[in-house]
């Protein structure tokens, strides 16, 4: 039985989420409406916590900091999609949150959240909590002055911290192209890129329509769009499309287009995440003799996407997260 604590100061939301979870025979959910009650309910030793970042009377980040400091368990942040919550969600990842899920803007759409929430709770319950903490190493070594390579980092659950870990290891003057495809909704990817830009030596920004790829700068695929890289005017440019797809941005979509443009110069890095996004893209990369790196099970928060790539035989290297930056430098 998976015990889940739902913390939200809005009665309708915490009641609805708890009911969703209790409909599954493997889950037992209970609730808390404020800081004091949340701290009391921690004594019941929940396996997973669902924590709203939109609470008005209490700070979600204070609660999260207390939980991770005293009784760490996987925490799923619930959030509406607005600029304020996107900044706070990314701080929550820094504090050790496992993943986040966006709440529908209208209560009538809440039922759409049910299956996704149950699946995410079951995944979170299987996570080793120590994998949510990362120790940043020093900068990686030498690299060539020029490179035609493009490095694509693809990730989902557990990805924001893994991506930051890799990009913070890359020094100024990195000669290759960089693209980040992290499963995030609209609004969050822009904030994510801005945060990375402040914390990394290389420049990081959210990709824009028609933008030319440039060496030594990382572009983050925007939420709500399918991103492709197309050849144009002796270079490569970003093409954004709105599609009816479950995942936008999609790692497969990006990698397929990139492989066709950059061919053997692609280095695809499939990081922690649920599902199988990245498998078809990795297949395309291998078709053009590019290189695929998969994060190993020991350091993946969720060993879904890397596992799928490995099992299909597309991974040239299976590495722990701390070894991936060095391998990237060797390959460029």
Q: Which range is most confident: 53-57, 167-171, 293-297?
A: 293-297
What's the Cα-to-Cα distance from 132 to each of 24, 90, 158, 185, 298, rounded to whole Å?
Answer: 26, 14, 7, 21, 12
| 69: Cβ contacts below 8 Å, ≥ 6 apart | none
Under the banding of pLDDT at 50, 70 and 90, the label for residue 143 is: low
Same domain, 128 and 209: no
| Percent of the chain with pLDDT strictly greater than 70 | 93
Burial 97-135 (b: 16+ CB within 10 A, else e): bbbbbbbeeeeeebeebbeebbebbebbbebebebbebe
Query: What mean pLDDT do residues 201-210 have?
Result: 95
Whether 49 shows a pLDDT value over 90: the answer reads yes
Q: Which listed residue (157, 183, 257, 300) is catalytic? A: 183
Higher pLDDT, 95 or 135: 95
Domain membership flag for residue 101 = yes
327 domain-assigned: yes
Please indicate whether residue 45 is annotated as part of the active site. no
For residue 143, tell me if it sits in a domain: no
Q: Is residue 81 scored above 70 in pLDDT?
A: no
Report, in angstroms and rounded to the nearest whole number, the Rg of the chain calculated over CA atoms: 20
- Quote the percentage of the chain above a pLDDT of 90: 66
Residues 223, 295, single domain; the answer is yes
Q: Is the pLDDT of residue 167 over 70?
A: yes
> Which of 73-87, 215-229, 241-255, 294-308 comes out lowest in average pLDDT?
73-87
- My answer on whether omega of the bond before 249 falls inside 30° of 0, hence cis, is yes
pLDDT at 242: 85
State the CB neighbour count (10 A cutoff) for residue 252.
21
CATH code where residue 173 lies = 3.40.50.180
Same domain (yes/no): 76, 193: no
Domain annotation covers residue 180: yes
Q: Residue 130 — pLDDT band, cuts 50, 70, 90?
A: confident
How many Å is the maximal CA-CA distance in the chain?
62
Say whether both 195 and 264 belong to one domain. yes
Structure-token pair, residue 159: 């990805």
Tell how strand 266-270 and strand 291-295 pair up: parallel
Task: Give the residue-averaged pLDDT of 98-109.
Answer: 79
Give the Cα separation of 100 and 77 in Å (integer).
4
CA distances to 64, 96, 146, 159, 258 from 99, rounded to whole Å, are 13, 9, 37, 9, 28
Same domain as 172, residue 41: no
* C-alpha span between 292 and 270 (Å, rounded): 8
pLDDT number for residue 28:
97
Residue 87 known to be catalytic: no
Q: Is the residue at 144 inside a domain?
A: no
Kindly indicate the confidence band of residue 145, based on its pLDDT and cuts at 50, 70 and 90: confident
On whether the CB atoms of residues 200 and 219 are closer than 8 A, the answer is: no
- 3-state SS, residue 311: helix
Statement to judge: residues 183 and 212 lie in one domain: yes
Count: domains in the chain:
2
Q: What is the pLDDT of residue 282?
A: 98
Cα–Cα distances in Å, from 226 out to 209, 220, 319?
Answer: 11, 12, 28
Q: What ranges in 23-101 are assigned the alpha helix state H? A: 35-41, 60-70, 83-95
Q: Are residues 307 and 171 in the same domain?
A: yes
DSSP E strands, the chain: 2-7, 27-32, 48-52, 75-79, 99-102, 150-155, 177-182, 203-206, 217-220, 226-232, 235-241, 266-270, 291-295, 317-319
Domain boundary among 87, 103, 132: 132
In this model, does residue 277 exceed pLDDT 90?
yes
Mean residue pLDDT across the chain: 90
Residue 113 pLDDT grade (very low, low, confident, very high; cuts 50, 70, 90): confident
| Structural domain that includes position 126 | 2-132
* Single residue among 132, 161, 181 that ends a domain in this structure: 132
Residues 80 and 159 in one domain: no
Classified as helix, coil or strand, 165 is helix
Q: Are residues 121 and 161 in the same domain?
A: no
Q: What is the pLDDT of residue 136?
A: 56
3-class secondary-structure state, position 96: coil
> For 6-29, what is the mean pLDDT?
93
Highest mean pLDDT among 58-72, 171-185, 284-298: 284-298
Tell me which of 156, 157, 257, 300 is the catalytic residue: 156
pLDDT over threshold 80, residue 72: yes
Res. 149: pLDDT tops 70: yes
Examine residue 32 and state whether it is found in any structural domain, yes or no.
Answer: yes
DSSP string, 92-132: HHHHT--EEEEPPSSGGGGGGGHHHHHHHHHHHHTS-GGGG
Q: Are 178 and 300 within one domain?
A: yes
User: What per-residue confidence (pLDDT) applies to 112?
Assistant: 80
The pair of structure tokens assigned to 260 is: 């066709």
Q: What is the pLDDT of residue 284?
A: 98
- Average pLDDT value for residue range 307-318: 98
């Amino acid at each position: 039985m998976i015990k889940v604590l739902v913390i939200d100061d809005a009665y309708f939301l915490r009641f609805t989420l708890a009911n969703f979870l209790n409909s599954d025979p493997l889950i037992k959910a209970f609730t808390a409406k404020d800081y004091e009650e949340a701290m009391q309910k921690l004594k019941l030793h929940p396996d997973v916590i669902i924590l709203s970042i939109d609470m008005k009377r209490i700070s979600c980040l204070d609660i999260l900091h207390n939980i991770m400091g005293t009784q760490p368990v996987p925490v799923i942040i619930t959030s509406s999609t607005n600029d304020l919550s996107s900044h706070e969600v990314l701080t929550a990842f820094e504090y050790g949150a496992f993943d986040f899920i966006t709440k529908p803007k209208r209560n009538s759409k809440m039922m759409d959240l049910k299956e996704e929430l149950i699946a995410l709770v079951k995944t979170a319950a299987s996570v080793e909590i120590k994998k949510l903490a990362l120790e940043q190493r020093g900068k990686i070594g030498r690299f060539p002055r020029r490179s035609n390579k493009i490095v694509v980092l693809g990730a989902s659950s557990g990805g924001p911290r893994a991506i930051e870990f890799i990009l913070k290891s890359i020094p100024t003057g990195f000669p290759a192209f960089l693209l980040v495809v992290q499963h995030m909704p609209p609004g969050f990817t822009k904030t994510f890129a801005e945060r990375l830009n402040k914390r990394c030596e290389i420049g990081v920004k959210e990709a824009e329509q028609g933008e030319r790829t440039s060496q030594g700068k990382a572009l983050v695929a925007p939420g709500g769009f399918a991103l492709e890289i197309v050849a144009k005017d002796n270079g490569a440019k970003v093409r954004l499309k709105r599609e009816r797809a479950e995942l936008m941005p999609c790692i497969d979509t990006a990698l397929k287009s990139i492989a066709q443009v950059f061919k053997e110069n692609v280095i695809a890095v499939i990081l922690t995440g649920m599902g199988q996004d990245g498998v078809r893209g990795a297949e395309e990369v291998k078709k053009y003799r590019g290189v695929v790196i998969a994060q190993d099970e020991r350091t993946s928060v969720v060993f879904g996407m890397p596992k799928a790539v490995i099992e299909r035989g597309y991974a040239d290297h299976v590495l722990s997260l701390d070894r991936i930056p060095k391998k990237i430098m060797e390959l460029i």
